[in-house]
Amino acid sequence: MFLEQLKRAWVVCKKDIRIYFFKAPVLIFGILFPIFLFLAFGIGRDLSVGDLLPGMIAIALFFTSAAIVPLIAPWETRTKTLERLVSSPILISTIILGDILASFLFGIIITVIPVIVGIISGISIKSLYIFIPGVLLASFCFSSLGSLMSTPPSDTPANTNMISTVIKFPLVFISGIFIPLGDIPVWGRVFSYISPLTYFTDLVRFSIDKKNYFPVGIDFLALFIFSLIFYILAVKLHQRNIPRRI
């Protein structure tokens, strides 16, 4: 039963890859937007590639892995393809997992680019055994967050994008990407603890230059807990709202 549903989730994932990977909103909000955001931060500051790379990787994965899945539900609601999908022998949780997997893969693929930039610039990732599972877990976590953002029963992708932007931007600025956590005031660090991006950024910094704020185990545990919460909430809310979409 589990393997059968997993196969169906993969079918949904492949469908999403074919349809949504190159949609304009995905390319704009998933790739161009984080690039411009990072350039606005980096240009004019006396920072080396080694200083910039952890933030570049964190922003790339966060925005790209949360770019596709928030748009799938409203698009499919508008085109009426959601009705056909829900009427097929597949669980709603499996549909959500398939959507998350598409965003998960998109995030990993795009994140390879800043890693290559770092390698070309002479920056090595010293702890691949930390970095690789960290990227995989964080990509699933951010994709699950993206699915949670798409739960309102709207057929307008712009509405979901608005919700996504309102949530993602504050998380970026409290997560230690632009300012190391040790330099943030105490009240700011309290807010940073509620952001999953904080823990991924910390893992990336440890993987590259061994400078981390939390123990590595705490980073992984926090990302796992956030992933579980986001996925369960996304499934519950989609199950409640899908009848209002069709």
Could you write out the three-class secondary structure of the chain? CHHHHHHHHHHHHHHHHHHHCCCHHHHHHHHHHHHHHHHHHHCCCCCCHHHHHHHHHHHHHHHHHCCCHHHHHHHHHHHCHHHHHHHCCCCHHHHHHHHHHHHHHHHHHHHHHHHHHHHHCCCCCCCHHHHHHHHHHHHHHHHHHHHHHCCCCCCCHHHHHHHHHHHHHHHHHCCCCCCCHHHCCHHHHHHHCCCHHHHHHHHHHHHHHCCCCCCHHHHHHHHHHHHHHHHHHHHHHHHHHHHHHC
Q: What gap in Å lies between CA 235 and CA 222, rounded to an integer?
A: 20
Residue 233, pLDDT score: 94
Domains in the chain, number: 1
Residue 163, pLDDT score: 80
Q: What gap in Å lies between CA 72 and CA 147, rounded to an integer?
A: 9
Residue 48, pLDDT score: 61
Tell me the longest C-alpha to C-alpha distance in the chain. Answer: 57
- The answer to whether 137 and 223 have CB atoms below 8 angstroms apart is yes
Residue 29, pLDDT score: 65
Residue 104, pLDDT score: 93
Q: Residue 2 is which amino acid? A: F
Identify the CA nearest to 197 among candidates 172, 180, 218. Answer: 172
Residue 115, pLDDT score: 83
Residue 171, pLDDT score: 85
Range of the domain at 158: 2-245
Residue 135, pLDDT score: 94
Residue 190, pLDDT score: 83
Q: What is the pLDDT along the chain (246 residues), one digit of tens a residue?
A: 678 888 888 888 888 888 877 776 666 666 676 676 666 666 666 666 666 778 888 888 898 888 888 888 888 888 777 777 777 778 888 889 999 999 999 889 888 888 887 788 777 788 888 999 999 999 999 999 999 988 888 777 777 777 877 888 888 888 878 777 777 777 777 888 889 999 999 999 888 887 778 889 999 999 999 999 999 999 999 888 877 776
Q: At a CB cut-off of 8 Å and minimum separation 6, what does 80 contact?
A: none
- The answer to whether 5 and 90 have CB atoms below 8 angstroms apart is yes
